[in-house]
């Protein structure tokens, strides 16, 4: 823009939608023309080995949908590729930027990224302004009486529920100010190949709440052979759906589902307030565990060839679809960290590579929960029995037979380890580690 009209930007990140978007609402409400932008960040993309990564395709398709919506409003979406602070330094030369609006991101890398962006913008007299959007309550809003953060879920949940009211669930009426999107410009929408990825033909879960399923959520959610969960994880991860809209639905449909959204806020708070969990256990004493080193056992776990059908079914579902049922995620994680006594961070990294709905806070929190190293009031000696879990939650082996067709035949491998022996081995090692040097 040669005339350097003063503008604001809205920077899409984990909020890929035009509706009920806190930062976008505030950007448009400020009154200046708003340039919507998304930045493909090589600091993130370069870590992805699969050049057909399903998540990149999901982001790309979501951006395409936003672009088409903006075109109907006479506006356009700017898509950039580069290190964010460098992109903003360049955009600051092209535009007279007043403020860049965005939503809070609580991950350690995101905080470092935003700090660099603040510096780059400040050199041109611009600023970064961010808002709460991807959680119902963020860290400072749910604290203990001594103003310290909760580190155990149940009391956190009680406080979270006691604070919940219509104010925190209200929708941001972005449509009221949509006339402030920048007009009479057209940005070319890039091909995915231009950032080094190949588009895939994937069918992603719909962005809708199935009320029939969710009314029964508390009764059917633990049975992997049943379509009994929302399947909205990927939409929550990338913000194509508002968490407030889901919490409103959950409050009226099913309290157990609402509780699951509380877990999401809890783990986000833990990551925000205790970032050391990214590199090691929440409880430092668990860093003394002498994990086994066995690449063959780990590979058999990854490929779903452990000889424990419910574990193998889960891993094969993950490898094939990028999804794994929530109950089975707990079973497979417990098996890796307790039965095989392999470092939980190996499994965390594998899930991070494979899960379509991978979220650092939830993935880390749930893996540490399963390994007994994280925020959990239960002691370390909770060890899931894969056979008992299968009998209880897949009693007719429908889930197992779907993903492990050779189950029950001579082709199916023998168990990689005997569960009773493995359980006792794990308990002995945990006790040794907790006694200290």
Active site residue 160: no
Distance separating alpha carbons of residues 273 and 250, to the nearest angstrom? 27
- Single out the catalytic residue among 175, 305, 319, 326: 326
- Single out the catalytic residue among 138, 263, 305, 319: 263
- Single out the catalytic residue among 291, 305, 319, 353: 291
Kindly state the tokens that stand for 238: 């990338």
Estimate to the nearest angstrom the gap between the alpha carbon of 306 and the chain centroid. 27
Q: Whose structure tokens read 């860290």?
A: 139
Distance separating alpha carbons of residues 260 and 241, to the nearest angstrom? 16
In contact, 256 and 221? CB cutoff 8 Å = yes
Kindly state the tokens that stand for 159: 């406080």
Active site residue 326: yes
b/e per residue 302-322 (b: at least 16 CB within 10 A): bebbbebbbbbbbbbbbeeeb
Distance separating alpha carbons of residues 202 and 241, to the nearest angstrom? 19
In contact, 330 and 323? CB cutoff 8 Å = no
Distance separating alpha carbons of residues 50 and 353, to the nearest angstrom? 9
- Single out the catalytic residue among 344, 348, 364, 369: 344
Active site residue 11: no
Distance separating alpha carbons of residues 266 and 104, to the nearest angstrom? 16
Kindly state the tokens that stand for 176: 């009221």
- Single out the catalytic residue among 86, 260, 305, 353: 260
Kindly state the DSSP code that residue 342 receives in the 8-state scheme. B
Q: Count the neighbouring beta carbons within 10 Å of the beta carbon of residue 349.
A: 13
- Nearest in space to 304 (alpha carbons), one of 202, 394, 407, 390: 407
Active site residue 367: yes
Cα dihedral angle (89, 17, 218, 154), rounded to 10 degrees?
30
- Single out the catalytic residue among 257, 301, 367, 369: 367
Residue 12, CA distances (Å) to 35, 79, 117 in order: 11, 10, 14
Active site residue 344: yes
Kindly state the tokens that stand for 155: 């009391």
Catalytic residues: 260, 263, 291, 326, 344, 367
């Amino acid at each position: 823009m040669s005339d350097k009209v003063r503008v604001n930007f809205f920077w899409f990140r984990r909020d890929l939608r035009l509706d009920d978007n806190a930062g976008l609402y505030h950007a448009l409400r400020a009154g200046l023309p708003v340039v919507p932008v998304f930045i493909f960040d090589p600091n993130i993309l370069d870590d992805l080995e699969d050049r057909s990564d399903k998540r990149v395709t999901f982001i790309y398709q979501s951006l395409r949908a936003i672009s088409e919506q903006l075109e109907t409003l006479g506006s356009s979406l700017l898509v950039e590729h580069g290190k964010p602070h460098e992109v903003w330094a360049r955009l600051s030369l092209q535009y007279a930027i007043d403020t860049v609006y965005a939503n809070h991101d609580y991950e350690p890398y995101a905080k470092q990224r935003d700090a660099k962006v603040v510096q780059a913008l400040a050199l041109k007299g611009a600023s970064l302004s961010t808002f709460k959007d991807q959680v119902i309550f963020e860290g400072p809003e749910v604290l203990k009486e001594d103003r310290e953060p909760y580190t155990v879920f149940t009391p956190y949940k009680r406080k979270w529920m006691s604070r919940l009211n219509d104010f925190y669930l209200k929708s941001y009426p972005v449509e009221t100010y949509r006339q402030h999107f920048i007009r009479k410009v057209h940005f070319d929408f890039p091909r995915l190949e231009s950032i080094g990825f190949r588009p895939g033909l994937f069918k992603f879960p719909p962005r809708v709440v199935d009320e029939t399923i969710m009314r029964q959520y508390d009764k059917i959610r633990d049975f992997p052979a049943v379509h009994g969960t929302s399947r909205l994880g990927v939409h929550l991860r990338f913000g194509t759906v508002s968490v407030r809209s889901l919490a409103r639905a959950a409050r009226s449909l099913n309290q157990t589902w609402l509780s699951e959204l509380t877990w999401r806020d809890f783990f986000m708070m833990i990551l925000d307030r205790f970032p050391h969990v990214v590199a090691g256990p929440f409880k430092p004493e668990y860093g003394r565990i002498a994990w086994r080193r066995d690449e063959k056992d780990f590979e058999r776990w990854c490929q779903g060839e452990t000889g424990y059908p419910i574990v193998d079914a889960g891993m094969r579902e993950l490898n094939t679809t990028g999804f794994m049922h929530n109950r089975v995620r707990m079973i497979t994680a417990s098996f890796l960290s307790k039965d095989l006594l392999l470092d939980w961070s190996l499994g965390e990294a594998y899930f991070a590579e494979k899960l379509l709905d991978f979220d650092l806070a939830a993935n880390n929190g749930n893996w540490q929960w399963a390994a007994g190293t994280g925020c959990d009031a239960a002691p370390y000696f909770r060890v899931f029995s894969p056979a008992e879990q299968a009998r209880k939650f897949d009693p007719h082996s429908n889930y197992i037979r779907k993903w492990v067709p050779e189950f029950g035949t001579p082709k199916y491998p023998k168990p990689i380890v005997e569960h009773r022996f493995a359980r006792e081995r794990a308990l002995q090692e945990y006790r040794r580690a907790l006694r200290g040097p």
